[in-house]
Amino acid sequence: MMQKLQRFGAAMFVPVLLFSFAGIVVALGCLFNNATIFGSLASPTTGWYKVWDTISAGGWTVFNQECLLFVVGLPIGLANKSHGRAAMESLITYLTFNYFVGAMLSHWGAFFGVPNFNKITITANATNGGLTQIAGIKTLDTSIIFSLIIAGIVVYLHNHYFDKKLPEWLGTFQGSTFVYILGFFVMIPVAFLTCLIWPKVQLGINSLQHFIVGSGFVGIWIYSFLNRVLIPTGLHHLVYIPFQFGPAVVAGGLQPYWLKHITEYAASTKPLSQIASMEGFQLYGNEKVFLVPFICWAFYATAKKNKKKQTSALLIPAALTSVLTGITEPIDFTYLFAAPILWVVYSVMAATMNTIMWCFGLRGLMSDGAIGIASMNWIPLWSNHWHVYVMQFIVGIVCGLLTYFIFKLMIEKFNYVTPGREADNEDVKLINKKEYKEKMAQQKMTQQKIAQQATGVAESDPYIARAQAYLELLGGSSNIEEISSCATRLRVTVKDPDKLGSDAQFKANKAVNVVHHGKAIQVIVGLDVAQVLERMQALIEKNGH
């Protein structure tokens, strides 16, 4: 079950990767068209306004079509083969499902409890009686929930029937066509049940929204803690995605909601806690900006004297990456397994800090690092809300200092092997043993030739050596049952964990670390994991697996 949940969480992350850039584009458009900052230049009649409004319109693409993105993205992460065809099958089946729903409600709306279906006109920024438009189809607003359900059904059909051999006279219906035929008929009862059940579920979602909003600081703390502590399992995606991009709090998700109203928030002199009361579940970028640098400081302070220079060379770039971009994994996995209790402490401190900030009135879209937070919060809203941001920095620095002292005390008291405290014969960067490096050097030319034959790319390709090395360290192609990736990690299900190489061998090939959950393995590669995965898949296919 854990393996399936991890793989599902990784697949959900495929479309989520697009949201950060799109959010910054929209925020910049709102910023540069903010009359309180740019005055008459931001008037709707100026060329300046029209240019930035056009750019913002492009940025809204991701948010306006997020249901379609999840429908296409999930098969890319979950299909066993022919991912592109699986994505196409998922898209057309999802559209078919919505056409069925629209037709059923049009003809029998009263029976399903939607008697005004044909009379309701879909308008922007309205609940529309629980209805919406998807790709021009008037249908029930099932948000990303049914995007994931339909995509999951199609992935199952694709993995089981895409290679189904039909009689010669039916050969034209093989492959994607056969999957779509099956999906077409499956969608009829699915659409019927959706029309029957979903209007009632929508009422339940509305009740859940009120419960979450009314739970106050307790709900904020629990959400923030789970969103951080579950990172090693990869299940944190299942925590924040329904809030940030789904209907858990507001229709359409909190991130699009914030961006749609950011100009309104910027112009208002009322506290954010009043005008954006529900926007308290996206504050988890604060731990990336305020806590991680102090954790790095604690590691440096407790490092051995003869390793401080090496430790600082490792930690400074990682800390800057966390603060500026919100990518924390280079730091997270340097101590997560050496001292897991520190990870729990970090999660508790992150949840506590976010909750304190929330209690002092902080609201906003703060899921990234300082660049994203500044473009979507500090810069456009500073004029009228600088007081709460000054408070944010004060609380963040105080909590950061407290985290520093707790980490330093625990590291020294319990002698945790954090960066810079390794044995004297081990390097801070955890480079492999000399024997293994020599072996890898001898195999380098062979690996490049094999990879070149498998991928058809030049030997200068920077990803081939790692792809070949990871494949061998995972026990070879025959030992891999499933392989996918999220933002920075390879997620692999192996047949025999005993065939794996050591963690040190993975690290010698530029992996940050390795996570073990029985047969479910995560190799933390970095932001170029998608390119490494592509080379590995080509090698696996070349080997006939």
Lowest mean pLDDT among 6-20, 400-414, 526-540: 6-20
Amino acid at 122: I
For the chain, the farthest-separated pair of C-alpha atoms sits apart, in whole angstroms, at 78
For the stretch 370-394, pLDDT in tens is: 888 888 899 889 989 999 999 999 9
- Give yes or no: 67 in active site: no
The domain limits of the chain are 249-424, 462-543
pLDDT in tens, 493-529: 899 989 999 888 888 888 888 888 888 888 988 777 8
Pick 96 or 482 by higher pLDDT.
96
Look at residue 108 and tell me whether its pLDDT is greater than 80. Answer: yes
Summarize the confidence of residues 243-267 as an average pLDDT.
81
Segment 127-154 shows an average pLDDT of: 85
**Which amino acid, residue 495?**
K
Can you tell me the distance from the alpha carbon of 60 to that of 338, in angstroms, rounded to the nearest whole number? 42
Q: Is 141 helix (H, G, I), strand (E, B) or coil?
A: coil
What does the mean pLDDT of the chain come to?
82
pLDDT given at position 401 = 97
The pLDDT value recorded for residue 399 is 96
Which whole number is the average pLDDT over 57-79? 84
The Cα 167–Cα 178 span in angstroms is: 12
Percent with pLDDT over 70 in the chain:
82
- Where on the phi/psi map is residue 361: left (φ > 0), alpha (ψ -120 to 50), or beta? left
Q: What is the mean pLDDT of residues 120-137?
A: 76
pLDDT tens-digit map of 352-376 = 999 999 999 999 999 888 888 888 8
Q: Is the pTM of the predicted complex or chain greater than 0.85?
A: no
- CA 335 to the chain's CA centroid: 22
pLDDT band at 446 (very low <50, low <70, confident <90, very high): very low
The answer to whether 396 touches 278, Cβ cutoff 8 Å, is no
Which pLDDT tens digit goes with each residue over 327-348? 776 677 667 767 889 999 999 9
Residues 6+ apart with CB under 8 A from 340: none
What's the pLDDT at 460? 60
List the Cα angle 232/499/487 in 5-degree steps: 30
H-helix segments, 215-307? 216-229, 237-244, 254-267, 272-275, 286, 292-302
CATH of domain 462-543: 3.30.1360.60
**Active site residue: 30, 67, 296, 486, which one?**
486
Q: Closest Cα partner for 107 from 184, 181, 192, 189? A: 192
Across 187-201, 399-413, 500-514, least confident range: 500-514
Confidence of residue 218 (pLDDT cuts 50, 70, 90): confident
**Mean pLDDT over residues 267-271, rounded?**
92
- Given a cut of 80, is residue 241 above it in pLDDT? no
CA distance 363 to 258: 10
Question: Under 8 Å CB-to-CB from 485, ≥6 apart: which residues?
Answer: 10, 77, 491, 525, 529, 530, 533
Report pLDDT for 6: 57
Query: What are the phi and psi torsion angles at 460 (to 5°)?
Result: -75, -5
User: Residue 426 pLDDT more than 90?
Assistant: no
**Cβ contact 440:508 at 8 Å:** yes
